[in-house]
Amino acid sequence: MKDRNYPGAPSEKEIAEKVKQYKQQMHENNNKETLMQLLNCVDLTSLNVSDTESKIAEMTEKVNDFNNHFPNYKNVAAICVYPALVPTVLDCLELEDVDIAAVGACFPASQSFLSVKTVECEMAVEKGADEIDIVISVGKFLEEDYQTVSDEILTIRHAIGDAFLKVILETGELKTPDNIYIASILAMESGADFIKTSTGKTAVSATPEAVYVMCCAIRDYYKQTGEMVGLKPAGGISTTDDALLYYTIVKDVLGEEWLSNDFFRLGASRLANALLTDISKFDGKNETIKYF
């Protein structure tokens, strides 16, 4: 990492106290406007071994038709799929304000050759992806081979040009606050536009503890560089309460500037419907919405 004077990860005591505080405070943000804002931060995601072109086309058509059903709402931020399905989304998507995101670099394990990872990311962009989500080489990181981890991110960063780069830390495998903090700084210094918690493919996905540490790292990086980097909790996020908790953490640590989808995303497949259901309750409706 570059020779900057970062304060380091918060203590486990501080993390526990803060997360307890946020769980108590998060319902203060439970209003229609915030839930609509959270919906606009969702990366609508399908990353299943059974994904087909027809399934992804159907999901994309629902995004296209969203405002016909919900005319006063903002749409999701992006559609996130495997690289081979990017052309399907590109062919079907009719909206300019919804991005196409692809997981890359041999997602979810990142256990391949750098040349293979790089070509996959390049091809995804060539086929129409606006954003690329990659996983760090967790094994290399745990061996403290930080230079290799950084070099891989930098190589992919250069290869994808102007596409957004989201770097997944797989925080459940990093385990400690120090590891999560170091990985966050490393990813940002290596060109990440966003740092992301998880793939959703491991036993432990997004947690408020990990998100708090990542927010502290983003704040410290911003203080050192003046550069805003985004945050994407992902994996296991399915309820409105999940989304509100992460929103509350980001609002407190980073501030209002980070609460648009330019700097805050939620990677999820079920969350959008949960948010739509809970938004409708503010209009006096009591029905479960299963639009997506």
Question: Which candidate in 196, 220, 251, 278 is catalytic?
Answer: 196
CA distance 28 to 244: 9
Alpha-carbon distances of 219 from 6, 28, 193, 197, rounded to whole Å: 10, 23, 14, 16
Assess contact for 214 and 178: CB atoms under 8 A: no
Question: Which candidate in 133, 193, 242, 278 is catalytic?
Answer: 133
Is 251 one of the catalytic residues? Answer: no
Give the residue from 107, 152, 155 showing the smallest Cα distance to 133: 107
17 phi, psi to nearest 5 deg: -65, -45
Residues paired with 267 in a beta bridge: 43, 234
Give the residue from 198, 272, 223 showing the smallest Cα distance to 42: 272
Q: Is 73 left (phi over 0), alpha (psi -120 to 50) or beta?
A: beta
Question: Which candidate in 232, 242, 251, 278 is catalytic?
Answer: 232
Is 13 one of the catalytic residues? Answer: no
Alpha-carbon distances of 41 from 106, 134, 232, 265, rounded to whole Å: 25, 19, 9, 5
CA distance 10 to 150: 23
- Catalytic residues, by residue number, are 133, 196, 232
